Amino acid sequence: MKIHPNRILFAVAMSASASTSMGGAIEYKDPLDLAVAAPETSAAAQQRIDRLILYAGDTFAYDNNIYRLPASVTDLTPLPGIGSNPSREDLICAPTTTDTFEIPISTMYQAATA
């Protein structure tokens, strides 16, 4: 039986996206953390080729307390910076696009598994 780390990590990341203020089991890694990460397993490294992938997407989200206010706050108008006719809940549409472009110059993986 083969463990599928990427698939479960994706599912956890999707779950965590609903609560960005919480730590979660999966560590946030900035680009430098990812760049110095351990080399890929031999199977993944051997499969890597030049690639260009373009994604487009859209997210429809409902939030019933977008300003993260306590229940005791019933009048939102005095809050600093808030717009006219403020509402505690909101429906958000967020189109996204992602481009992935990779050219491997050198393929390195753990020689012990070659």
Partner 1 sequence: MGGVLSGKVGADYSRLLGGYANTQVYNRDIVNRSDYFASMRYQVGPRWGIFGGLMGTTYSVSAAQANFNNSTSKGVDVGADYATELNRIGFDYRYNDSRASNSAVLNGVVFDPDYREERARVLFRYALSEKTIFDGSAGYLKRDYPSTAIGSFSGEIWRASFQWQPTPKTQLLVGAWQQLDADLTSQTDYFVDKGFSLTPEWIASEKVTVSFSVSHDTQNYVGSNPVGPIPVDFTGQARHDTLTGETGSVIYTPIQAIVLTFSAGHVKRNSNFSQFEYNDLQSSANITYKFYRRGDYQ
Q: Which helix (H) or strand (E) holds 14?
A: helix 5-16
Q: Ramachandran region of residue 42, left (φ > 0), alpha (ψ -120 to 50) or beta? A: alpha
Site for partner 1 in 53-72 (CB under 8 A): 53-72
Site for partner 1 in 9-38 (CB under 8 A): 10-12, 14-27, 30-33, 35-36, 38
Q: What is the largest CA-CA distance in the chain?
A: 65
CB of 33 to partner 1, least distance (A): 7
Residue whose CB is less far from partner 1, 74 or 94: 94
CB of 62 to partner 1, least distance (A): 5
Q: Select from 6, 42, 48, 46 the least CA-distant residue to 26.
A: 6
Residue 75 interacting with partner 1 (CB under 8 A):
no
